[in-house]
Structure 1
Amino acid sequence: MIAVLKVWRVTSETWVTARLNPSKTLSMDMNPAYISAARVHLPNAVEKIAFDHFHVAKMLCAVVDKTRQSEMKTIPLQARKSAHRSRYLWLYGRNKRHGRIAERLEAAQMVLPDTSRCWAMKELARELWSRRYDEQSRRLWQEWIAMAKDVGVPLLSSAARTLRKRLYGILNAMKYRVSNGNAESLNSKIRLLRIKSRGTGTKNGSKWR
């Protein structure tokens, strides 16, 4: 039995490698386990791994929100109520700040300066990602990373270190203009089907899992 399992493992790994050999790129999130697997099975992985922009944006949005939560504890009590109501305003992009939204966000920026700086760096990262890939892309991201560290907010500095380590995958994503959005959408639909199937009985009395 052990011998059979070893043969199956070698055969399956050979099949995976053969399928991945002609691959031009592989879009994925920044999960260390996924990256390790890709480095093992994907030839020239560093030149092909592309990190999905959604996961980078999600990380930077989390930096903004967690910084806001921390900073809220340091501001005067009378300012906390209006600052607390700004929670969802920080999700707006720079190009969507109009009218009342812009006024409320500007007021929040006055009392939450660290959060405001993190938000500005998030928006700058968005602009960098939307640029067409060229010979300046690496330099611009390196400048962003240096600026993010200089802001002096621990969470933003940590995110900058992560992006410095994963910069190769960000540049590949820009170069090939790929994302794993379709796969994420399919995963969401599968999760929804599983939720809907809970409690649905079968003929033998068992339930879907």
Structure 2
Amino acid sequence: MTDDLPSARQFRQQITLFRGHSAAVVYGFAPAGQFTQIWYDQWRSSVISSYGYALEELGLHPYFVDAAAFARQALDGSLPKVICAFNLNAGITPIHHWSMVPSVASWCGIKPFPSEADVLIVSERKDTASLIARECGLAVPKNFQKDELLSLNPLTPVMIKPRDLGGSVGLKRSTAGELAADKAIQPTDVLQEFVRGFDLTIPVVWQPEVARENCTAGISGISA
């Protein structure tokens, strides 16, 4: 470890500075949603409570609050003093609804985790994520416009993906011919070539004590 990187001891000392403070754990409460919000997946109690356990291990007090109440309290000044807010308001579409918590938090001077609103929106959208990956030199499947499907062999396998849904929700394998004739396709749907082989998801997390990323165990699947 180089001299300019914090040691494990220094890292622990920094953590102790947070003890006695509070942190908001902001989750999505579906019944309190409005008709414009469509919930396709939500973190359950086990995930939400795990954030509370982790914060308590660090000596902080978790403040559990749903997204709408967090926004109201933060903006009207009634929110208890918190040093940060963890955004668990996930599994909701349109994608810009995800950014409500980090946007309000930043506006009110509260550090949002795991990311700021602009990072969340850009990285979660499948179309922009593909562009970023391509610019980084990664090989990504070819994208098609719907009218381009007519120039392909009708039996060519093509994937259709909702732009704003995560967790493989709405992911479907079809053919160029079927999709070219499908009138239900939305302008926001992502059409990509089907790639045979293995699918491997590798989470990358930042390790502040060594100032670098670390790759955790991958989750594999097969594209047949």
Q: TM bucket by the smaller chain?
A: under 0.3
- Relative to its length, the structure with more strand (as a share) is 2
- Relative to its length, the structure with more helix (as a share) is 1
| Greater Rg over alpha carbons, structure | 1
